[in-house]
Structure 1
Amino acid sequence: MRLFFVMLAACTLAGCALSPPGTPYWDTHFGANARLALAAQVIDADASRNPDPVAGIDGKAAQQGYVRYQKSFSDPPPQPTFVITAK
């Protein structure tokens, strides 16, 4: 029982020990991804004034894709085709 209390005291005192001076590499790069994301958003401040349409998917294909996406939430999930039952 005495050994238990000695070990408990040692673990408690170990929690009070000084930690290393920090993580200099992580601290210098803290927030870098947030700053990069912000810079990517403001890199072209005049993008909203550009009248040229974005080249990409045509309207009919986009509409069908959107309809299919919306329908995927209203349809029940398909039943499994392979079922194992225990008798």
Structure 2
Amino acid sequence: MITRTLWLPLAATALLAGCGSMTPHYDARFGEAVRNARMQMTINPDAGTAVGLGADGATGMDGRATRHTMERYEQSYKSPPQAVNVINIGGSLNNNSSSGAP
């Protein structure tokens, strides 16, 4: 009986010590994939810092094209485009099986 009461706490301590030794390796790299993905999606990582404030603005569009795009975007909410009628070829609009037709 004495060996069993001594053996159980020692075994539990050994198992917990083995699990605890692995977490520093995981904790050191926790969130690394998310940080890497965010950095890959960012054009200018220094945009919010003092270094990035002196850099050029957005690239790819000039001022006139950007203004026109923003105006069209705002107008799309004021007057949305009309719904498009769909032409159904090869089927009926209602799924009525009581018509008697095969």
Class of the TM-score when normalised by the shorter of the 2 chains: 0.3 to 0.5
Structure whose CA Rg is larger = 2
Quick one: higher RCO (CA 8 Å, sep 6+), 1 or 2? 2
Task: Report the TM-score when normalising by structure 1.
Answer: 0.42
